[in-house]
Structure formats: C-alpha cells, structure tokens
Amino acid sequence: MAALRAAKQALRKELKKRVAAMSDQEKLRQSRVVSQKLFKHPKYLSSQRVAVFLSMHDEVRTEDLLQDIFKRGKVCFIPRYFSNSSHMDMLRLKDPEDIQNLSLTSWNIRQPGDEDAHSREEALATGGLDLILMPGLGFDKNGNRLGRGKGFYDTYLERCRKHQPEKPYTIAMAFKEQLCTEIPVDDRDFIIDEVLYEEE
C-alpha cells in the first residue's frame, strides 16, 4: 500500500512538471482537438444528463464543452467538492452564465457555496447521470486514471453504482502529455471507459 502511494506521488510530480512545461496556446489547441472529438462521440450525443468539471489551469479547458452541452439542450451538472473529505456532489448548472455566480474555493475552483447548493438539484437525487467527463493528472490507454489523491471521483462513482441501475459512461479529457505507459492502481480505483486525447 505504502509503495503504491509512493509510486503515485512520484508520478503526480512528474506529470505536473510535464503539463507545467506546456504553453497556454498548446493547452488551448489540444483542448479544442479533444473537444471536437467529444462533440462527435456517440455516447456524448446520446447522453442527456452530463457531469463536467470546471477546468483548472493544468486541465483540458471545458468552456467550449459547457456551451455545447447547453446548446444541445442537455442537463449539465458540475462538481461540488468537500475539502475535508472525499465527498463530492454533482449539482445542476442552470446555464453557462450561471458559472459567474459561483463562489471561488481555496483551490481556485468555482463551485456552488453552502447556501446556493441547497437550491440546486443533485444528479443522483433526480435520476442519475448518463455521462461523466473526468479530469485527472494522468491516464494510461487501459483506462487507469491518476487523480489528485483525494478520491472524489472514485467515491462518487461508487455512489452512482448504488443509486442508478446502469453506471454512467466515463470519458477522460486529456492532454497527450498526461498519457503514461502504466498508471499504478489498486482495487478501489475505477477504470475509465475511454480517454480522449490528440493522437499523433
């Protein structure tokens, strides 16, 4: 267990370095390529209820995605993280402008504050999710994912398994710099259905 943790920590450092070396233009360019792939993806096209992360500077940009989700009339959910645990909710976003009203967390991520959260629908309470678009620090081609170590998505996918008959399809959005030959994982790590990135 300790060895696995150490291996994950070392890989996180290495991946953060790799992504930090990318220019903003390159991040934006790859984000557009990956978004275009998603827009043509049959799972995305057929999904009605979609969860998407609000991107941080070291993740594939999701602004275009958010616009597209609303343009196609899908129902959009975004994460609300609880900083002192691995608990996360997926709360409904009304429209793209709604993002401006969200408070900033200490991690510099926008999410609904305590008051605001009560008035929003939580995905699992109202019918579950068809598709979850996943962030992460690193991925391999077998669908193994390296997160930031808090376990938010693994814990949430476990909850999905209990609350909805079919688990949501999961697609990771990645820069090619985030691809690894092999990600060290254990039984609690969920395998992602698909990783989208710009192929050479």
- Which segments are annotated as binding site for substrate? 54, 59
CA–CA distances in Å: residue 194 to residues 2, 31, 143: 28, 16, 6
Q: What angle do CA 64, 58, 90 make, to 5 degrees?
A: 60
Find the length of the chain.
Answer: 200
Which residues are annotated binding-site positions for ATP?
8-12, 145-153
Which residues are annotated binding-site positions?
8-12, 54, 59, 145-153
